[in-house]
Amino acid sequence: MATARGYHHGDLKAALIRGALAAVETGGPDAVSLRDLAQSLGVSTAAPYRHFPDRRALLAEVAAIGFNDLTAAYARAQAEAADPVAAMRETARAYLTLAFGRPGLFKLMFASDIVDGEAPASLLGPAQAAWEGLFRAVAAAEPGAEPAAIKRRAITGWSTLHGFITLVQGGRLKGFMTEPLTEADLLEAILDKTLREA
């Protein structure tokens, strides 16, 4: 809680993460500045460095939130679906929902270098859990398939979804390409294609 003397011990870290998440969701990863966050929170520019060695470490915490949210969305989709094929379709829809509903966070998670060999375990764990949620959906829809086949299907299905997202977010799908299809038509076509790939 903020006071005239600043933040009580432990509160500043959470406030920085919340502020960075809000900045990412409105402006993408490039919108996050430790200096700007410190100023908005009324603390010295040195204060954030007591909790995060650099901007990248803060962004890793934000990306971990995104992966945890995605894993939870996958779990809900699979628990509520009527059968494994429907579960896989709804898992794919959850990925699209993240991409189009929270594009700044999606960009941080999937279009930046935040998840790489140098990423902290606090980020790699949530990223792996999200992958495992996708893998489980494909495995359930393909009982008896070998792990390598499941991975192949999961990656090709994911690639279809990701390619569509990239085209839409990059403004590459023009009216002359898509008319008379509606946005809903396109989404259903991509979900159908994803199921066939998977």
Run of H or E residues at 2: strand 2-3
pLDDT at 121: 81
pLDDT at 29: 95
Question: CA-CA distance, 129 to 63, in Å (whole number)?
Answer: 13
Residue range 43-71, pLDDT digits in tens: 999 999 999 999 999 999 999 999 999 99
Backbone angles phi, psi at 2, to 5 degrees: -75, 140
Instruction: Answer yes or no: do 100 and 23 share one domain.
Output: no
Mean pLDDT of the chain: 91
Instruction: Answer yes or no: do 40 and 89 share one domain.
Output: no
For the chain, what is the domain count?
Answer: 2
Question: CA-CA distance, 165 to 37, in Å (whole number)?
Answer: 30
Categorize the per-residue pLDDT at 177 as very low, low, confident or very high, splitting at 50, 70 and 90.
Answer: very high
- Full residue range of the structural domain in which residue 5 is found: 1-52
pLDDT at 83 over 80: yes
Question: CA-CA distance, 61 to 66, in Å (whole number)?
Answer: 9
Instruction: Answer yes or no: do 67 and 124 share one domain.
Output: yes
Other residues' Cβ atoms within 10 Å of the Cβ of residue 81: 17
pLDDT at 2: 47
Instruction: Answer yes or no: do 80 and 173 share one domain.
Output: yes
Question: CA-CA distance, 57 to 59, in Å (whole number)?
Answer: 5
pLDDT at 122: 87
Q: What is the CA radius of gyration of the chain?
A: 19
Residue range 93-127, pLDDT digits in tens: 999 999 999 999 999 999 998 887 777 888 999 99
Instruction: Answer yes or no: do 157 and 193 share one domain.
Output: yes
pLDDT at 195: 78
Question: CA-CA distance, 136 to 150, in Å (whole number)?
Answer: 9
Instruction: Answer yes or no: do 72 and 3 share one domain.
Output: no
SS3 state at 7: strand
Question: CA-CA distance, 74 to 176, in Å (whole number)?
Answer: 34
Instruction: Answer yes or no: do 75 and 132 share one domain.
Output: yes
Instruction: Answer yes or no: do 87 and 174 share one domain.
Output: yes
Instruction: Answer yes or no: do 71 and 119 share one domain.
Output: yes
Question: CA-CA distance, 39 to 184, in Å (whole number)?
Answer: 42
Q: What is the CATH number of the domain that holds 29?
A: 1.10.10.60
- Name the nearest CA neighbour of 136 among 63, 198, 67, 69: 198
Is the CB of residue 20 less than 8 Å from the CB of residue 32? yes
Instruction: Answer yes or no: do 114 and 20 share one domain.
Output: no
Other residues' Cβ atoms within 10 Å of the Cβ of residue 197: 18
Stretch 172-195: mean pLDDT, rounded?
90
SS3 state at 19: helix
Stretch 31-37: mean pLDDT, rounded?
96
Strands of 29-182, DSSP E: none
Instruction: Answer yes or no: do 76 and 15 share one domain.
Output: no
Q: What is the CATH number of the domain that holds 104?
A: 1.10.357.10
Last residue of a domain, one of 10, 27, 52: 52
Stretch 153-175: mean pLDDT, rounded?
94
pLDDT at 74: 98
pLDDT at 10 over 80: no
pLDDT at 4 over 80: no
Instruction: Answer yes or no: do 42 and 61 share one domain.
Output: no
